[in-house]
Amino acid sequence: MNKLTNKEKKMTKNVTFCITGKLDGIERKDAISLIESKTNAKWVSGVSSKTHYLISMRTDTSKAAKAKSFGTKVIGQKEMMAYVNKGKFPTLHAW
């Protein structure tokens, strides 16, 4: 895994994510710790217009619909792990 440059750390520091539902093989609290430590992104407890990513195993939930209405990207666990392995989430928008 590549280490983040100082510029990338600043950019990803403002990336926010929320997790909804169950994940396969990992507890939610462990997933949050993993994501925060590996990507420098920040967990938020609920979806808002300032949430960048919603991690969900299902896209047909009311929370996913709410996230999409805000322009939040809804991703699954596989995509989440790809970002963790890269060490960063792509920055979607600047707030």
How many helices and strands (H and E) does the chain possess? 4, 4
5-49 confidence digits (pLDDT tens): 555 555 556 899 999 999 999 999 999 999 999 988 999 999 999
Query: Strand 42-43 and strand 16-20: pairing?
Result: parallel
Residue 94 pLDDT more than 50?
Answer: no
Q: Is the pTM of this model over 0.85?
A: no
54-84 confidence digits (pLDDT tens): 999 998 999 999 999 999 999 999 999 999 9
Query: Strand 16-20 and strand 53-56: pairing?
Result: parallel
Please tell me the predicted confidence (pLDDT) of residue 14: 80
